[in-house]
Amino acid sequence: MWVYILGILFVLSATVAIQYRIDINKAYKRLNNYDIKTAYTNFGKMSYIDEGTGEPILISHGIFGGYDQAYVSLKSIVGDDHRKITPSRFGYPGSDLPSQPTPENQAKAFLNLLNQLGIEKTYIISTSAGGAAGIMFAIKYPERVKGLILLSSGVPASKKTREEIKGMMGPPAPLVNDFPMWFITKYFGFVFKYMFASETDKSLYDTMLPVAPRKKGIKTDETITNIDMDINFDDYEIDKITAPVLVVHAKDDPMAKYESVEKFIARTNAKTAVFETGGHLITGHGDAVSVAIKEFIEKTK
């Protein structure tokens, strides 16, 4: 009996190992299969994708992201319209991690990139953990921003000390590795449905793997980026944002709480596309999200 059970376990383990090796090799190949460009900023190397023509849009991606996730997200929103600039933030695929990877320095790196590309003004889309850098860019460099679009983005809500910030600010440490992330996405996708309060599609899973090239960026988001708007609240002078602002959010988002977003909207007089449901990924409203962002760009360009 035990021999039979052990035989089954061996076959299952071997099958999982083979499938993992096939899938992770595909993930690394996919990550390297984009038309990746490199800029050298004051904070080191930055990898990015620059595709299309028309109004330029730079996207500041969220946690577990990179130039690939940024590109897939932006492409799903605007399609073949507009010039899509999708850099990896600090520590994400192809981008260096400087000694001080703060959102303010990330904003400066974005500015370096735009200068090298000869772009005077751009739209900024910030998603999730990318919100801090995008908002800081709009505050620090108002003359370079045509519009700020916050898509399920974190926002500055209230001043806190490090000691007052409770709860996990990033993923569990074991998950920040290739095999555990692959295993969860492959066999237990419902975990992410619970985390995001949203259905997650294959395109998102594809841009979360491989994890290893994103590990430094994920850790930086957990320890610096995701708390910066709280502990340095006074530095986020959102009242000084002069560019038009659009907030796209779902009220049941469990990761970027709508209560905080409401305060941001009130202080900035932002335009809104707010949904009752959809979670962090605003599932079920993709077309409406795309229309809202495209109309915002058309009216403000």
Q: Is the dihedral of CA 282, 288, 293, 299 positive or negative?
A: negative
> Residue 17: inside a domain, yes or no?
no
Which backbone phi and psi does 256 adopt, to 5 degrees? Answer: -115, 95
296 lies in some domain: yes
Q: What is the span of the domain harbouring residue 123?
A: 34-155+162-300
Please say if the pLDDT value at position 168 is more than 60: no
Q: Which residue has the higher pLDDT, 201 or 42?
A: 42
Q: How many domains does the chain have?
A: 1
* 246 and 273 Cβ atoms separated by less than 8 Å: yes
**Confidence at residue 73, expressed as pLDDT on a 0 to 100 scale:** 94
Q: Does 165 have pLDDT greater than 60?
A: yes
In a domain, 241, yes or no: yes
Percent of the chain topping pLDDT 70: 89
What mean pLDDT is predicted for residues 166-194?
78
| Of the candidates 118, 148, 154, the residue with the CA atom closest to the CA atom of residue 57 | 148
Residues contacting 101, CB < 8 A, separation 6+:
43, 90, 91, 220, 224, 225
Residue 4 lies in a domain: no
Would you call 170 helix, strand, or coil by DSSP? Answer: coil
105-158 per-position pLDDT tens digit: 999 999 999 999 999 999 999 999 999 999 999 999 999 999 999 999 999 988
Q: Is residue 29 a part of any domain in this protein?
A: no
In a domain, 12, yes or no: no
Whether the pLDDT of residue 2 is over 70: the answer is no
Across 279-298, average pLDDT: 94
Residue 9 lies in a domain: no
Inside any domain, residue 225: yes
Angle, helices 131-140 vs 103-117, to 10°: value is 70
**Three-state SS across 101-137?**
CCHHHHHHHHHHHHHHHCCCCEEEEEEECCHHHHHHH
Q: Which residue has the higher pLDDT, 50 or 17?
A: 50
Alpha carbons 175 and 158: distance in angstroms, whole number: 30
Residue 90, pLDDT above cutoff 90: yes
**pTM, rounded to two decimals:** 0.92
Give the domain CATH number at 90. Answer: 3.40.50.1820
Residue 268 has pLDDT above 80, yes or no: yes
